[in-house]
Amino acid sequence: MGAMLNTKVNIAGVELKNPVMTASGTFGSGMEYSEFVDLNQLGAVVTKGVANVAWEGNPTPRIAETHGGMLNAIGLQNPGIDVFVKRDIPFLKQYDTKIIVNVCGHTEEEYIEVVKRLANEPVDMLEINISCPNVKEGGIGFGQNEKSVYHITSEIKKHAKQPIIMKLSPNVTDITVMAKAAQEGGADAVSLINTLTGMKIDINRQTFALANKTGGLSGPAIKPVAVRMVNQVANAVDIPVIGMGGIANYEDALEFILAGATAVSVGTANFYNPYTTIEIVKGIEEYMKAHGCEDINQLIGIVNK
């Protein structure tokens, strides 16, 4: 009999049973994946981005595969906050997992409208999407300049009843500058990385593979970039860092944790292995046993010590 393992991590006062979460936009609101995995076993479910009203998203093709990765240009299609509150939150409340709602908007006012609407809802945290590369207004527009990161963070913080996580874009010169601006603005945590802006040309049709021309690159191909940025940010700020970008197995998840992430999100891997999240939960426990580690918190940022 070994000692009890502690896999619990704490982000801004919210205790997760383990550090494994889903990445926004890859897991819907959990409904589709609840047929494959037991959502009760996840640290948290991060929902697809939701806006004040329904968004249609971009024209198709919205998806293109690349070597070891994929490009998407969904364009934040979502049913709007009213439907989300009525349908998606009650669905997730059936499970013993934390609910993190990803919030998107074209303007500061739209973000705030959603944040206010969620104030009295039973959600645990808000993740503010200031890094989507696939919408013309909003999204990444707020996330590539330190002043605007600070500004939107502090404005949202005034209205948010739940802790806020600012989701950062890798499409910047120095991501630590944005992370520090978010911390300064009152962010309770940061999550990174969102997708890297990319492009694919279809040589048979002799045009862009995506109708939007550009899309966000995700999947195993981007993992080393993500680990590097998570490590840099973990060393630059005092608030918790949630790491993501190409995580497909427990070894990948541990790289992020050892680099400084308090929790990790699984995204693209859900598309090709719907069991990834649960496999990672189990794999981390096995790793802890094998390495004589009783508390996962001892592993966070261990490479920096």
Partner 1 sequence: MSEVANSHVTEIAVILSQEKIATGIYSMWIKTVAAKNAKAGQFISLYSSNGATLLPRPISICEINEEKTALRLVYRIVGKGTAEFSSMSKGDEIKVLGPLGNGYTLKDKTAILAAGGIGIPPIVELAKQLHHQFGCRLNIVVGYRNDELFLIDELKQHGEVFVSTEDGSVGTKGNILDAIRENNIEADIIYACGPMPMLRAVKELAKSKEIEAQISLEERMACGIGACLGCVCKTKDKDEHTHVNNTRICTDGPVFEAEMVEI
Residues with catalytic function: 132
Choose which of 3, 35, 203, 206 interacts with partner 1 (CB under 8 A): 35
In the window 116-155, what residues touch partner 1 (CB under 8 A)?
A: none
Residue in 15, 96, 137, 286 binding partner 1, rule: CB under 8 A:
96
Name the one range near partner 1 by CB under 8 A: 180-188, 271-279, 284-292, 296-304. 271-279
Q: Is 33 in the site for partner 1 (CB under 8 A)?
A: yes
Quick one: which of 8, 17, 77, 154 contacts partner 1 (CB under 8 A)?
Answer: 77
Residue 100: strand, helix, or coil: strand
Is 194 a binding residue for partner 1 by CB under 8 A? The answer is no
In eight-state DSSP terms, residue 243 is E
Instruction: For the segment 212-251, give every residue that binds partner 1 (CB under 8 A).
Output: 219-220
**Distance set, CA 285 to CA 8, 43, 184, 229, 295 (Å):** 11, 13, 35, 25, 10
Chosen residue from 32, 174, 251, 286 binding partner 1 by CB under 8 A: 32
Q: Pick from 271, 282, 285, 297: which binds partner 1 (CB under 8 A)?
A: 271
Pick between residue 12 and residue 211 the one whose CB is nearest to partner 1: 211
Q: For residue 172, which amino acid is it?
A: V
Helix pair angle (175-184, 223-236), 10° resolution: 40
Distance CA 133, CA 72 (A): 10
DSSP state of 87: I
Collapse the DSSP code of 191 into the 3-class scheme (helix H, G, I; strand E, B; otherwise coil) and give the result.
Answer: strand
C-alpha dist (Å) from residue 149 to 46, 128, 167, 298, 305: 21, 11, 10, 31, 29
303 binds partner 1 (CB under 8 A): no
Q: What are the φ and ψ backbone dihedral angles of 240, each rounded to 5 degrees? A: -65, 150
Q: Is residue 270 involved in binding partner 1 (CB under 8 A)?
A: yes
Size of residue set near partner 1 by CB under 8 A: 46
From 257, 202, 236, select the one nearest 244 (Cα to Cα): 257
Within 36-55, which residues bind partner 1 (CB under 8 A)? 36-40, 48, 54-55
27 in contact with partner 1 (CB under 8 A): yes
Query: Shortest Cβ distance from residue 147 to partner 1 (Å)?
Result: 32
Question: What Rg value do the Cα atoms of the chain yield, rounded?
Answer: 18
Among 10, 15, 94, 136, binds partner 1 (CB under 8 A): 94
Hey, which residues does 202 pair with through a beta bridge? 207
Task: Examine residue 10 and tell whether it contacts partner 1 (CB under 8 A).
Answer: no
Residue 66's φ and ψ, nearest 5 degrees, are -130, 175
Strands 214-218 and 196-199 turn out to be: antiparallel
What is the chain's length?
Answer: 305
Under the criterion CB under 8 A, does residue 275 sit at the interface with partner 1?
yes
Out of 6, 8, 12, 63, the only residue in the binding site for partner 1 (CB under 8 A) is 63
Binding site for partner 1 (CB under 8 A): 25-28, 32-40, 48, 54-57, 60-65, 67-70, 72, 74, 77, 79-80, 83, 94-96, 219-220, 268, 270-275
